[in-house]
Structure 1
Amino acid sequence: MRLSTVILPIDRWRDEGRDKWRRAEELGFHTAFTYDHLSWRTFRDGPWFGAVPTLTAAAAVTDRLRLGTLVTSPNFRHPVTLAKDLISLDDVSDGRVTLGIGAGGTGFDATALGQDPWTPRERADRFGEFVPLLDRLLTEDSVSYGGNFYSAHEARNIPGCVQRPRLPFAVAATGPRGLRLAARHGQAWVTTGDPKLYETGTPEQSVQAMRGQIGKLADACAEIGRDVAELDKILLTGFTPDRGRPLESLDAFVDFAGRHAELGFTDIVIHWPIPGSDFAADPKVFERIAMEAAAQLR
């Protein structure tokens, strides 16, 4: 099992931002992700920087650490412009980028451009066009396409990604349409668990729900003749009934991660501690988990 982290883009680069990304590499994390939002929940009225510039800066101060979004969505992105940004980021990082991508939600991003929030069906419809078009844009030199929601006219993306045939997609999905996209286009699949269990569920119910999600992912893969084992399976923590308890001690984390490894998860992602937030944690415990947990989980 691999251990990764999420660094929220809330710090000025020359204050704490740069140091966190460098420290993530020093601690041995496999990947450091950031959220791709315009603002997010309780952080809305504080500093919040753009994901692509942040990751580009992180690429310049690290050498081995993989970098990624967790996750990008159609809420304020267009496949043509996003593809250009991703190819550039993949080049700057020398092929260290993973695109986490999902259908988006109903938060601040959903209305920031002045639109009404989309229904779940509308989000799924757009996602169903967004992912295949982005796949083409990142693998073909020139793309023309006319869909219900997105269009491209001779969009050029030369020289393409450093990673071939393109940078990997980690598709966040739990519904049938999203899981089919993950099966067809994903190199990884992402979940936060079952959001209906966050407030009143138990850790045992959460594990059962994720077992069911992986089973549905396997079914979606089987429909197209793909082995579900080909996809990495990523759990973004902090949104299950356990909440912050796995970060209370090394033993608590190893127990949590071990239970999810048994389900088939290949990657666990933990949030970089932010005092006074839902992601508050003891920095010393966090660093100990980063340095020691992976060896115990082997």
Structure 2
Amino acid sequence: MRSAVWLPLFDELADPRVVADLAVEAEAAGWDGFFVWDQLDWRAPVTAVADPWVCLAAAAAVTNRLALGPMVSPLARRRPTKVARETVSLDRLSDGRLVLGVGVGSDSFAREYSRTGEPVEDRTRAEMLDESLEILRSAWSGGVVRHHGKHHLVDGMTFAPTPVRGHIPVWVAAFPGNLRPLRRAARHDGVFPVNLTSPDQLAEAVARVGALRADPELPYDVAIDLTPGTDPAPWVAAGATWVLTDVDPATLRLDPVRRMVREGPAS
């Protein structure tokens, strides 16, 4: 099992310098990863929100070992060609430590999609996500990208440089009972099952993804979030390979977060 700090970039944490300092402390305390939320807005009492890519770049520049990335980024609201540039730049800045968490996203938390003219229908957003992932895979390869889709067009572009290791791991957020996101996750490098209620539910999701994968023998990550202090052992036994800290954004404060980071991961 590997452990990661996972933080909403809200209020007292809505400052790239603060995030970078926390990443340094996380690396010193023995954490394996440092992941951040990707939101434009959030409901009260949150008032301030930082950009994940800027914060991750700040964290990458001052650390050497931590895996890092957005967890998760709703790609449907982002231009995939821009994300191709951003991800490779961050991957190279971090010397190949980027993990890209992706998902369909939801308008229910802060109406950040409907209030900015973004599509809110799950089906549409899922289509856009799948097209974006196809474009990213092609762009990262260094070959010519030709994509004429329903939502995106890339007509004969080549993206250089390429990722440090030729590939950026993609983890896909999925509700365990929803087959389509699990199929999407099975095509990539990891799954982040959300809203889990028990290790048994995780074990079922892991089994379903495993049955859908083209080659179940290849390395594959299963990330979950747990409240700090929760015993991870039953979840690891159910298939979790990464455990992320579940921090409540409504009560988020810098000092308790710093104490949690300094205490290090659960053994």
Contact 2:69 2:100 in 1 (8 A): yes
Aligned counterpart, 2:216: 227
For 1:55 and 1:43, locate their aligned partners in 2 and report how far apart those are by CA, in whole Å: 24
C-alpha contact (below 8 Å) 1:169/1:187 kept by paired residues:
yes
Deviation for aligned residue 1:43? 5.8
Is the counterpart of residue 81 in structure 1 residue 82 in structure 2?
yes
Where do residues 232-251 of structure 1 align in structure 2 (5 Å cutoff)? 232-237=221-226, 244=227, 247=228, 249=229
Residue ranges of structure 1 left out of the alignment (5+ in a row): 195-202, 238-243
Once the two structures are TM-superposed, the CA of residue 272 in structure 1 deviates from its matched residue by 5.9
Cα distance change on mapping 1:130 and 1:282 into 2, 3 Å: closer
Q: How far has the Cα of 1:153 moved from its partner? A: 1.9
Distance 1:285-1:96 versus aligned 2 partners, 3 A rule = closer
Q: How does 1:19-168 map to 2 (within 5 A)?
A: 19-42=21-44, 44=46, 46-106=47-107, 107=109, 108-115=111-118, 117-164=119-166, 166-168=167-169
CA-based RMSD: 2.6
The one-letter amino acid of 1:259's match is: P
TM-score, normalising length: structure 1: 0.78
Q: Which has the higher contact order (CA 8 A, sep 6+)?
A: 2
Name the aligned partner's letter for residue 4 of structure 2: S
Q: Secondary structure at the match of 1:143?
A: strand
CA deviations on 1:100-156 (whole Å, 9 max, x unpaired) are 1111112433224323x4222222222222222221121133212110111112233
Greater share of helix? 1
Q: Which runs of 5+ in 2 are unaligned?
A: none
In the comparison of the two structures, how many residue pairs are matched?
260
Query: For the Cα contact (< 8 Å) 1:89–1:97, is it kept in 2?
Result: yes
Deviation at 1:207, TM superposition (A): 2.5
Return the letter of the residue paired with 1:53.
V
Q: Which residue of 2 aligns with 1:216?
A: 208
CA positional deviation for 1:282:
7.6
Mapped partners of 1:128, 1:235: distance in 2: 22
CA distance in 2, matches of 1:5, 1:38: 20
The answer to whether the 8 A contact 1:131-1:181 is kept is: no
Report the Cα distance in structure 2 between the residues aligned to 1:275 and 1:124, rounded to whole angstroms.
28
Q: Percent identity?
A: 25
Answer yes or no: is 1:8 the counterpart of 2:11: no
Partner of 1:176: 179
* Cα separation, 2, equivalents of 1:192 and 1:87: 27
CA–CA separation in structure 2 for the residues paired with 1:42 and 1:86: 31
